[in-house]
Amino acid sequence: MHKLALIGLMVALMALAVFTGNAQTEDETTPTPAPSKTPTLEAPLGAALEATDEVAATPGALTTVEAGEFEPLTQADLQVLTGNVQRPNGIAWFNDNLYTSCTGDGTVYEINSRTGATRTYIFGIKNAQTLYVEEDENQNLTMWVPDYAENALARVTRQGVTIITRNLEGPWGISYVDEESFFVTSLLGNRINLINREGEAQPVLEGLSSPMGIVHDGETVFVANYGSTRRSVEFYPFDSVLNGAQDQDNGENHVLVSGLQNTTGLQLGADGLLYFAYSLGNRGLVGRVDPAVCTANGGCTNDQIEIVLYTDLAVPLAGLTLTPDMRIFVHTMFTPDIYWAQL
């Protein structure tokens, strides 16, 4: 199990070219992995998993959401939205469009979330896992994009790509804080940075375990630790993280969900539930919990989450996003297809 976890970690982080090794364990319906898109950063990721991280993610009783409310979706329930993007990686919804970064050609694309109609937005992003999209008073779009390959946070507009700050030790997830700043996870630095729009960065929470996805609701910050099943999803008070006052206690008393393999994207749904992508062997899954229930119970284990989606897609699910009307979009890094379903 430890060996599989290490392989899964290396694949999803794209720090080692092991995609073909994973594909050999898949059945005939599994997409053939694309060539490696290994970033130039050196990543000592083999040591990221903890010795105690031998827990496999297995489906179980639905205790955080009332059992019987929802029948888990499978691959057969998904519809394909073909966006003509060679290798989508990371995805965000805004104004009924999807924005995704293609690591095949270094381009950000705009895709109509209803029809799949696609147009090139801008060239110049090499390897983005998440994007934050906003609009000013003149309806001009701006995207804030952690570029893992560039080790930087970039501002993207129609006029071009501007690097705001560098040396972020593997920037991965991003979450809007306010009009001045963002939270950005540092995958290789095991921390969250607070970065303002002028590029000033400061660490505000350290001691994480290969953090990827990050979201907050104004009161609580949720972070996905790809490198630890024991600390799969953690929660921290928003104000203490924002002010850099959170005790560095290696996750003690902050575990929201434990027992999941390779937790990546996080999304807060319009239903108030927390959604996350993770893996079961070589299959990508999406689950959800009620954060209030897990917090009150001192954390939820992997058999207490509600499975939302079983896919036949090879891990990792590089994209996960939810719309206000509760459509879910996912994709893997291996094929151009973007899948969606109505929850």
Q: What is the CATH number of the domain that holds 14?
A: 2.120.10.30
Cα separation, 112 vs 10, whole angstroms: 32
Cβ-Cβ contacts under 8 Å for 49 (sequence gap 6 or more): 2, 5, 6, 9, 227, 228, 229
Residue 108 has pLDDT above 70, yes or no: yes
Contact between residue 332 and residue 29 where contact means Cβ atoms under 8 Å apart: no
Cα separation, 171 vs 101, whole angstroms: 15
User: What is the model's pLDDT at position 251?
Assistant: 63
Residue 14 has pLDDT above 90, yes or no: no
User: What is the model's pLDDT at position 37?
Assistant: 33
pTM: 0.82
User: What is the model's pLDDT at position 13?
Assistant: 46
User: What is the model's pLDDT at position 65?
Assistant: 53
3-state class of 50 per DSSP? coil
Cα separation, 76 vs 245, whole angstroms: 46
Cα separation, 264 vs 317, whole angstroms: 8
Residue 8 has pLDDT above 70, yes or no: no
Cβ-Cβ contacts under 8 Å for 332 (sequence gap 6 or more): 31, 284, 311, 313, 314, 315, 316, 317, 318
Show the tokens assigned to 340: 């969606």
Cα separation, 132 vs 125, whole angstroms: 14
Residue 252 has pLDDT above 90, yes or no: no
The H-or-E segment that residue 183 falls in is strand 181-186
Give me the residues paired with residue 100 across strands: 91, 109
CA torsion through residues 27, 28, 31, 35, sign: positive
What average pLDDT score do residues 185-189 get?
97
Q: CA–CA distance from 71 to each of 63, 74, 131 (Å)?
A: 14, 9, 30
pLDDT band, very low/low/confident/very high, at 336 (cuts 50, 70, 90)? confident
Contact between residue 69 and residue 313 where contact means Cβ atoms under 8 Å apart: no
108 or 317: which leads in pLDDT: 108
Residue 5 has pLDDT above 80, yes or no: no
3-state class of 321 per DSSP? strand
Structural domain of 25: 2-342
Residue 61 has pLDDT above 80, yes or no: no
Least confident of 38-47, 184-193, 256-265: 38-47
272 or 317: which leads in pLDDT: 272
3-state class of 203 per DSSP? strand
What average pLDDT score do residues 158-162 get?
94
User: What is the model's pLDDT at position 137?
Assistant: 87
The beta strand positions in 240-305, using DSSP E, are 255-257, 266-268, 274-280, 283-289
Encode pLDDT of 274-307 as tens digits. Answer: 999 999 999 999 999 999 999 999 999 999 999 9
User: What is the model's pLDDT at position 69?
Assistant: 65
3-state class of 5 per DSSP? helix
Q: How many domains does the chain have?
A: 1
Cα separation, 117 vs 241, whole angstroms: 40
The share of the chain scoring above pLDDT 90, in percent, equals 68
Least confident of 60-64, 130-134, 179-183, 283-287: 60-64
Q: What is the mean pLDDT of the chain?
A: 83
User: What is the model's pLDDT at position 206?
Assistant: 94
